[in-house]
């Protein structure tokens, strides 16, 4: 008998792996780990899991002993080598990175993250990417929660840039697919006029003079007063605009738009009236560049009243505000997939935005330094942004094109014999079977055969519902069980036909139907009012006499009686074409709710179809009271007197 192979022992394996890890760290070589891995008994999976635990144990000791970042990074580098050699799991380096960043203070996290940034090519390789992308994303999000956006701005930016380099552009987890806004980005400023110091500022300057702190002005600079007259109203209106830049959807509301319009015109008027001089505006910045002065950036606006005059005199600050206007205007005019259908600009708003956009570009070009160049660059970038919006509207398809590396195979066509392909106008095409040959030669041109009118299998509404309309008439006394609407096969075909050819199918209604036959019976009654009467049988002499009597009675009817009759489907069709895009003006006077109007807008883009749906909904709502007289009254109330007069004339002509 062969000797039994030794069994795997977890404590022994862990001890040996820990010792080998220490040895590998001292030698800066992974060979001790490879040797131990090959010598230990047990399955490969068992040994991998044990080595993962050994790595975490050694790392824990280093962190407790407050070792340097170099020792910590050396352990992670060993883990990366172990993954490459296949002796530990692919997620181990990311687990170790997460442990380190959770335990170390932020200043040391900066050093660790520099290592993460340098190895972005490693993380993107096939060995690591699928196993580690979620770990890296979670690790970066945890870091961002710990960092302050105002104090650690650069570190936050590095993390965002790393994620942008790590994930492909089409990675949907990093995209704002639904175009949501960061509503938490609130700009705080003084909203209490009683606490404002702007009204007292110039008086105090004249009487007592202004104390200048060291470092605020150069030795050669004399204190100058601001040429821009600033009061609390300008301060309040200026900073109130940030709320519209934060949440542009407010601009679609009527009252909010008026406020935005008023504040914008006043602020832009100040920018136009008090332009910056090229030399004065950039003098301080040029001196800083020459002396290597450090620029300080802030993640949030400083909204102190004392800084208002300095901010309005700063060219970079003006550029920030003007650029915010351009970004806002682009969103309001753009086609965004997830934007609500109610968010539509009026013609007046569109015209104002177009004129103001030109004014903003003009102000940018006049703003020093290099205003003309900066303005053109911004315009180019915003035009490119339209491609980004289009890509998001299309569902963010991948940018990677699948290249067809397979060589194109030359296909040799088999030559058909002369007796197979017909030659000349009178020769048949033989299909090898007598019946197939007959069918094919009925129309040899396939496209013409498909366009033939005989292939139109869908019946008209009149043909299909003729029997059901007759059965719905109480005079015919057809019992319910024998009606066609109770046939499930008939009901299924009726629904398909209504969906294709009747506007009633998509019309919203408050009625609730318990069964399909009940719904179809309701639809049949509506269609009976619109469709012409079914073809009549050969009339007898008595029928002709009755019709003559009816005609005499109709001739003697007064116009008022005729106008009291409900409108017909033909009248609705004709009048809808005339009403067209003015249907929305008439809708409130036909007692249509806002929800019904929005539903009509969503159902169709065609104005004539919307007008027809409005009239059909009104007819359903009013029933026998849906008369031309009531429609004419509604038209007069809505100010559509020309259409009211036209409908009156048509009604009299038809009578």
DSSP for 489-553 reads HHHHHHHHHHHHH-GGGG---S---SSHHHHHHHHHHHHHHHSPPPPPPPP-HHHHHHHHHHHHH
pLDDT for the residue numbered 156: 92
Residue scoring higher pLDDT (438 or 307): 307
| pLDDT reported for residue 83 | 93
Q: Are 101 and 143 in contact (CB under 8 A)?
A: yes
**pLDDT in the model for residue 220:** 44
**How far, in Å, CA of 252 to CA of 239, rounded?**
20
Structural contact between residues 610 and 583, judged by C-beta atoms closer than 8 angstroms: yes
Residues 6 or more apart whose CB falls under 8 angstroms from that of 443 comprise: 449, 452
Give pLDDT tens digits for 538-554.
444 445 555 555 554 44
Confidence of residue 214 (pLDDT cuts 50, 70, 90): very low
pLDDT single digits (tens) 144-198 = 999 988 888 899 999 999 998 998 877 777 777 777 888 888 888 888 888 888 7
At 525, the pLDDT band (50, 70, 90 cuts) reads confident
| Residue-wise DSSP of 145-160 | HHS-TTTSHHHHHHHH
Q: What percent of the chain has pLDDT over 90?
A: 33
pLDDT of amino acid 380? 94
Q: pLDDT by residue (tens digit) across 490-506?
A: 888 888 888 887 877 77
Under 8 Å between Cβ of 618 and 507: no
Q: Shortest CA distance to 226 belongs to which of 208, 238, 245, 210? A: 210
Compute the distance between CA of residue 392 and CA of residue 405 in angstroms, rounded to an integer.
29
Residue 329 has pLDDT above 90, yes or no: yes
Q: Which residue has the higher pLDDT, 467 or 255?
A: 255
Indicate whether 594 pLDDT > 50.
yes
Q: Does the structure show a pLDDT above 80 at 56?
A: yes
Q: What H or E segment, with its residue span, contains residue 2?
A: none
Q: Are 523 and 468 in contact (CB under 8 A)?
A: no
* 110-124 residue pLDDT tens: 999 999 999 999 999
Burial of 369 (0-12, 13-18, 19+ CB in 10 A): middle
Length of the chain: 655
C-alpha span between 486 and 497 (Å, rounded): 16
| Segment holding 239, helix H or strand E | helix 232-246
Indicate the pLDDT class of residue 219, thresholds 50, 70 and 90: very low
Task: Enter the tokens of residue 246.
Answer: 């934060």
| 24 vs 14: CA distance, rounded Å | 15
- DSSP class of residue 50 equals H
Q: Decide: 175 and 396 in contact? Cβ < 8 Å.
A: yes
The three-state DSSP-derived secondary structure of 406-426 is: CCCCCCCCCCCCCCCCCCCCC
Could you write out the DSSP letters of every residue in 71-120? HHHHHHHHHHHHHHHTSS-TTHHHHHHHHHHHHS-HHHHHHHHHHHHHTH
Tell me: pLDDT of 209 over 70: no
pLDDT of residue 406: 55
Least reliable range by pLDDT among 292-296, 324-328, 640-644:
292-296
Domain residues of the chain, as ranges? 10-164, 232-288+297-394, 428-455, 461-505+515-530, 569-654
- The pLDDT value recorded for residue 541 is 46
Q: Which residue has the higher pLDDT, 317 or 454?
A: 317
Tell me: pLDDT of 628 over 90. Answer: no
Residue 155 pLDDT: 92
Q: What percent of the chain has pLDDT over 70?
A: 80
Structure tokens of 242?
């940030």
- Does residue 57 surpass a pLDDT of 70? yes
- Residue 274 CB partners (closer than 8 Å, separation 6+): 227, 228, 312
More confident call, 499 vs 53 = 53
Other beta carbons within 10 Å of 166: 20
- Residue with the bigger pLDDT between 225 and 529: it is 529
Pick from 239, 246, 243, 288: nearest CA to 266: 239
Alpha-carbon span 181 to 194, nearest angstrom: 33
Distance CA(104)–CA(142), nearest Å, equals 13
> Residues 6 or more apart from 534 whose CB is under 8 A from it?
462, 466, 469, 470
CB of 609 within 8 A of CB of 570?
A: no
- What is the Cα–Cα distance from 88 to 370, expressed in whole angstroms? 57
Alpha-carbon span 274 to 230, nearest angstrom = 12
Tens digits of residue pLDDT in 367-401: 988 999 999 999 999 999 888 888 888 877 777 66
Peptide bond before 61: cis, by omega within 30 degrees of 0?
A: no
DSSP 8-state secondary structure symbol assigned to residue 202: H
551-to-47, 73, 543, 557 alpha-carbon distances in Å: 102, 102, 12, 10
pLDDT band of 457, cuts 50, 70, 90? low
Mean pLDDT calculated for residue range 23-37: 90
Long-range contacts made by residues 32-41, C-beta under 8 angstroms, separation at least 24? 33/78, 33/82, 33/87, 34/85, 34/87, 37/87, 40/8, 40/13, 40/16, 41/5, 41/6, 41/7, 41/8
Highest mean pLDDT among 33-42, 163-172, 551-560, 593-602: 33-42
Q: What is the mean pLDDT of residues 234-242?
A: 93
Distance of alpha carbon 494 from alpha carbon 464, whole angstroms:
8
Asked if 360 and 326 count as a contact pair (C-beta separation under 8 A), the reply is: yes
C-alpha pair distances (Å), 283 with each of 35, 178, 213, 315, 438: 67, 44, 20, 11, 93
Helices and strands (DSSP H and E) totals, the chain: 30, 0
Are 48 and 87 a contacting pair, CB within 8 Å? yes
Nearest CA to 327 out of 362, 369, 357 is that of: 357
The pLDDT tens digits for 331-344 are 999 888 778 888 88
pLDDT score, position 544: 52
Give the three-class secondary structure for 615. helix
The vertex-248 CA angle with 385 and 160, nearest 5°, equals 55
Distance of CA 70 to the CA centre of its chain: 46
Please list the alpha-helical segments (H only) found in 343-370. Answer: 347-366
Average pLDDT over residues 89-118: 93
| DSSP codes of every residue in 57-80 | HHHHHHHHTT--HHHHHHHHHHHH
pLDDT tens digits along 317-328: 999 999 999 999
Cα–Cα distance, 469 to 528 (Å, whole number): 6
Stretch among 52-66, 415-429, 471-485, 582-596 having the lowest mean pLDDT: 415-429
Element (H, E) at 26: helix 10-27
Average pLDDT of the residues of the chain: 80
Question: Class of 569-654 per CATH?
Answer: mainly alpha
pLDDT confidence bin for 223, thresholds 50/70/90: very low
Q: How far apart are CA 574 and CA 588, in angstroms?
A: 21
- Judged against a pLDDT cut of 60, whether residue 407 lies above it is answered with no
In angstroms, the CA 37 to CA 28 distance is 17
Confidence band, pLDDT 50/70/90 cuts, at residue 217: very low
Q: pLDDT band for 604, please (50, 70, 90 cuts).
A: confident
């Amino acid at each position: 008998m062969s000797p039994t192979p030794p069994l795997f022992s977890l404590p022994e394996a862990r001890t040996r792996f820990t010792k080998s890890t220490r040895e590998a760290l001292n030698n800066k070589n992974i060979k001790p780990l490879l040797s131990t891995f090959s010598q230990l008994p047990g399955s490969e999976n068992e040994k991998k899991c044990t080595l993962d635990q050994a790595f975490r144990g050694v790392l824990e000791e280093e962190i407790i002993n407050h070792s340097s970042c170099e020792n910590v990074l050396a352990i992670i580098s060993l883990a990366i080598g172990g993954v490459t050699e296949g002796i530990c799991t692919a997620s181990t380096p990311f687990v170790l990175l997460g442990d380190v960043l959770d335990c170390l203070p932020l200043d040391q996290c900066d050093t660790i993250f520099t290592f993460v940034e340098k190895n972005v090519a490693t993380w993107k390789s096939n060995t690591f990417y699928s196993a580690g992308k979620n770990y890296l994303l979670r690790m970066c999000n945890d870091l961002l929660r710990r960092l302050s956006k105002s104090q650690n701005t650069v570190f936050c930016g590095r993390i965002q840039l790393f994620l942008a380099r790590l994930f492909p552009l089409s990675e949907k987890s990093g995209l704002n697919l639904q175009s949501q806004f960061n509503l938490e980005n609130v700009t705080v400023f003084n909203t209490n006029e009683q606490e404002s110091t702007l009204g007292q500022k110039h008086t105090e300057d004249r009487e007592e003079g202004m104390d200048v702190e060291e470092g605020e002005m150069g030795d050669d600079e004399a204190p100058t007063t601001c040429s821009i007259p600033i009061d609390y109203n300008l301060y309040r209106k200026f900073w109130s605009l940030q709320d519209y830049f934060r949440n542009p959807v407010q601009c679609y509301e009527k009252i909010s738009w008026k406020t935005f319009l008023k504040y914008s015109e006043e602020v832009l008027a100040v920018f136009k009236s008090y332009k910056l001089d090229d030399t004065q505006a950039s003098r301080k910045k040029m001196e800083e560049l020459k002396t290597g002065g450090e620029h300080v950036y802030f993640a949030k606006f400083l909204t102190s009243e004392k800084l208002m005059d300095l901010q309005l005199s700063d060219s970079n600050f003006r550029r920030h505000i003007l650029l915010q206007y351009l970004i806002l205007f682009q969103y309001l005019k753009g086609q965004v997939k997830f934007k609500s259908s109610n968010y539509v600009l009026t013609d007046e708003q569109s015209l104002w935005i177009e004129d103001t956009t030109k004014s903003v570009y003009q102000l940018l070009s006049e703003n020093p330094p290099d205003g003309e160049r900066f303005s053109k660059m911004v315009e180019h970038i915003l035009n490119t942004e339209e491609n980004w919006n289009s890509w998001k509207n299309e569902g963010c398809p991948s940018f990677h094109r699948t290249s067809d590396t397979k060589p194109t195979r030359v296909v040799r066509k088999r030559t058909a014999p002369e007796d197979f392909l017909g030659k000349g106008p009178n020769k048949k095409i033989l299909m090898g079977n007598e019946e197939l040959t007959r069918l094919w030669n009925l129309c040899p041109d396939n496209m013409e055969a498909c366009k033939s009118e005989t292939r139109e299998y869908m019946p008209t509404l009149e043909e299909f519902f003729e029997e059901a309309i007759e059965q719905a008439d109480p005079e015919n006394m057809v019992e319910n069980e024998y009606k066609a609407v109770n046939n499930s096969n008939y009901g299924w075909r009726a629904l398909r036909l209504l969906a294709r050819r009747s506007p009633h199918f998509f019309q919203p209604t408050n009625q609730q139907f318990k069964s399909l036959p009940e719904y179809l019976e309701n639809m049949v009654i509506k269609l009976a009012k619109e469709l012409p009467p079914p073809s009549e049988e050969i009339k007898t002499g008595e029928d002709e006499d009755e019709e003559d009597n009816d005609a005499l009675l109709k001739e003697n009817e007064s116009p008022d009686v005729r106008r009291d009759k409900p409108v017909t489907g033909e009248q609705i069709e004709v009048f809808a074409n005339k009403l067209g895009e003015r249907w929305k003006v008439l809708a409130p006077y036909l007692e249509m709710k806002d929800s019904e109007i929005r539903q009509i807008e969503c159902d169709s883009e065609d104005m004539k179809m919307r007008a027809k749906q409005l009239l059909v909904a009104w007819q359903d709502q009013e029933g026998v009271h849906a008369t031309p007289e009531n429609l004419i009254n509604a038209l007069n109330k809505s100010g559509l007197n020309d259409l009211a007069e036209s409908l009156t004339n048509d009604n009299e002509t038809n009578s």
